[in-house]
Structure 1
Amino acid sequence: MQITNNSLIQFELPQHLACPLPTELRNMPRDAVRLLVTTGAGEASHDVFSNFDQYLQAGDVLVVNTSATVASAFAITLPNGKPGRLHLSTQLSDKEWLIEIRAIEGNTTTRWKAGQEGMKFKLPENVTVKLKERFYKNDQLLDLWVAEFDIRQEEEGYRHRYGQPIKYTQLENPFPLSYYQTFFSFHLGSAEMPSAGRGFTESLLRKLVRKGVVLAPITLHTGVSSLEEDEKPYPEYMEINPVTALLINTAKEEGRRVVAVGTTAIRAIESVANAQGQVKAFRGHTDLYIEDTHQMRVADGLLTGFHEPKASHLHMLQSLAGFEHIERAYQQAIEADYYWHQFGDLHLILA
């Protein structure tokens, strides 16, 4: 790892640690992925995720995302006649969506930057998608568009018939949608999997419940994850019910830990926390961007995967645990050959 004076940790990801196959294709249960546990005291433990319960205590609140992944990638033809992909990201209203259009180059997709207002793209059964305006302006790299999704039939069935899970590489080997669901998947809406929850199995959750760990569900529907360096997340729809708010607030009042499963869970609870760390029930979109200068009000820990160099989520990790903690953890992960990306290994950060 190269150490610099930047506010964000700097590292190069070795190619052999990127994009492992799903556990189903590696002949292993989901909770057999590796687990790195790091603490603010500088301690580090290397384990397997099936032992995750050993690092939590009775009374800890585990915040989990119940969003389920939906088929959000559709084959299209670009104006130049070449194949492309249209990714539905975030629903803004009955007909308006944030979408991303990507070109296909070989076996991967790349950002397509030739979109113009008023362009239309045809999908099966006379469904059209019309570009209305860019969501971000010139100072942003991500080409998200506000688009009109003109569909006059039942959407869930249509997406099941014609959509596929979003993939950016290895397009010739699509995985079934079930590979992109977690144990908690219940409320349809995520364009991409809230992947930090993928390792949980029923047997592991039974151990957590028997130990006295409290499960607190939230819902945050993730959009496309193709953010590049220095790109801020966009609005995403979320819900926190009154019971979850009560569970979290009681834990904070009693000095018990709140551990978020995934950056989506942290974004949700921090979005609705007041200065005293009290969470309120909420339904709507959040545009909270957690920078490294953000003062965490609720979360005491985070279970997450390993993030790309310069990814905006690294700011969130550093906000929770500090620059030195995350820098040291990522150096240890690289030296120990942990896998990155959504099907990879997991990192428990205890601040």
Structure 2
Amino acid sequence: MTQTDAPALPPLRAEDFDFALPEALIAQAPARPRDSARLLVVEPAGTRDLGVADLPGLLGPGDLMVVNDTRVIPARLRARRGEARIEIMLNRAEAGGTWHALVRGAKKLRAGDVLAIDGAPELAPRVLEKQEGGAVLLDFGPDQALLAAALEKAGEIPLPPYIARPDGPTEQDRADYQPIFARQPGAVAAPTASLHFTPGLLEALAARGVRQVEVTLHVGAGTFLPIRTEDPRAHRLHSEWGEVTPEAAAAINNTRAAGGRIVAIGTTALRLLESAVDEAGTIHPFQGLTDIFLLPGHRFRSADVLLTNFHLPKSSLFMLVSAFSGTARMRAAYEHAVAQGYRFYSYGDASLLFRENAL
């Protein structure tokens, strides 16, 4: 098919993904215990109001949960260039101690500047390059152990701006914002669907015959950025580093061959799987950067079920769930969730979504 023969894409507007969300429904703290959060099950036949603790009854023997084992780092730093104050949000590790970062106050910086980090005088990152949108390349030097120790001492857990902490994140947030699956340091935002799991819930799922496999996607600061273009297709996500090991790919493919369902735990796991899948639905080992943006019209090939939190209006993640389960179905589901007082975003409740179109 030539380019002129290709079917035109249907119109897509950011306003189509807007909805009224009372500010009071943006959760400021997680449910305790974590698996006591509510769960909205969104199926072709309609919706059901359940709880996260009911998840073992909704999955079955032979199903495979794909979880993101990234670990959130204290990625927000306060710094100075001379007398000028700036705020650094580390976004993605590059080679040789270089980090891609989003900097509030980036206009004050020039290439070659050396920054002083509040609370960590042993760090003296140098500005290598300024990029668009407040992005900056910073050289922290090759000693990653020094940087990791300094972050633990001086860095803040990068809570989303929707969680009000006038005095900064608390020690409780350090625990609350870290998923039970966290193993590989590198994320600057939590894969929040994983925040609902407890040891007891995992034991119940295992007893049910539900297995799990780990993949890694280091969630970047771009997850907080709003879509500012009228056509969402013009929006570009920041690249994030991910890995699907050969062992994980084999487990997923074997599950599919045996008739089991692939259950993506969170949009981050789903985005990584869709970056690693081919046209036939086979998952391949993957290691590298992905900036995949999943919009309505995308044909999903990697997962059958998605567990995810409730997302904000006009966000890339509400567009993703609309692509997965159907825009009309998700608009109706979110209207129900708002009416029933479900709690939204990182510390909020969860939804279990089934893919609109079968493979």
* TM-score grouping bracket, smaller chain normalisation: 0.7 to 0.9
Distance 2:197 2:331 in 1: 26
Tell me which residue corresponds to 1:268: 272
Q: Deviations over 1:79-106 (max 9, x none)?
A: 7744x4211111121222111123xxxx
| Shift, 1:317, TM fit | 1.2
Q: Does the aligned pair in 2 maintain the 1:65–1:264 contact within 8 Å?
A: yes
1:114 to 107, 113, 138: 107
1:212 aligns with 2:212: no
1:37 aligns with 2:31: no
Distance 1:49 1:183 in 2: 15
1:133 aligns with 2:136: no
Cα pair distance change 1:148/1:32, threshold 3 Å = same
1:90 aligns with 2:92: yes
Tell me which residue corresponds to 1:51: 54
Tell me which residue corresponds to 2:20: 12
Structure 2 matches for 1:232-251, cutoff 5 A? 232-251=236-255
Q: Does the aligned pair in 1 maintain the 2:309–2:350 contact within 8 Å?
A: yes
Q: Does the aligned pair in 1 maintain the 2:81–2:116 contact within 8 Å?
A: no
| Shift, 1:334, TM fit | 0.7
Q: Deviations over 1:189-215 (max 9, x none)?
A: 111211110010111111111111120
2:343 to 319, 322, 339: 339
Q: Deviations over 1:226-279 (max 9, x none)?
A: 211244321111111222111211222233211101111011111111110101
Cα pair distance change 1:90/1:45, threshold 3 Å = same
Q: Does the aligned pair in 1 maintain the 2:96–2:141 contact within 8 Å?
A: no
Cα pair distance change 1:199/1:94, threshold 3 Å = same
Q: Does the aligned pair in 1 maintain the 2:140–2:147 contact within 8 Å?
A: no
Task: Figure out how many residues of one structure are paired with residues of the other and give that number.
Answer: 328
Q: Does the aligned pair in 1 maintain the 2:81–2:114 contact within 8 Å?
A: no
SS at match of 1:47: strand
Tell me which residue corresponds to 1:156: 148
2:180 to 183, 200, 217: 183
Q: What TM-score, normalized by structure 2, do the two folds share?
A: 0.85
| Shift, 1:157, TM fit | 1.4
Q: What TM-score, normalized by structure 1, do the two folds share?
A: 0.87
Distance 2:65 2:303 in 1: 10
The one-letter code matched in structure 2 to 1:172 is D
Cα pair distance change 1:122/1:150, threshold 3 Å = farther
Tell me which residue corresponds to 1:143: 134
Cα pair distance change 1:340/1:115, threshold 3 Å = farther
Cα pair distance change 1:293/1:116, threshold 3 Å = farther
1:199 aligns with 2:196: yes
Q: Does the aligned pair in 1 maintain the 2:309–2:344 contact within 8 Å?
A: yes
| Shift, 1:170, TM fit | 1.5
Distance 1:56 1:260 in 2: 12
Distance 2:20 2:349 in 1: 17
1:229 aligns with 2:223: no
Cα pair distance change 1:175/1:214, threshold 3 Å = same
SS at match of 2:255: helix
Distance 1:346 1:134 in 2: 38
Q: Tell me, which stretches of 5 or more residues in structure 1 are unaligned?
A: 103-111
1:62 aligns with 2:65: yes
Greater fraction of residues in helix: 2
Say which is worse superposed, 177-186 or 282-291, in terms of deviation: 282-291
Q: Deviations over 1:106-151 (max 9, x none)?
A: xxxxxx462544144211224233333344x4xxxx4322332246
Tell me which residue corresponds to 1:77: 80
| Shift, 1:6, TM fit | 4.0
SS at match of 1:114: helix
The one-letter code matched in structure 1 to 2:253 is N
Q: Tell me, which stretches of 5 or more residues in structure 2 are unaligned?
A: 1-10, 229-234
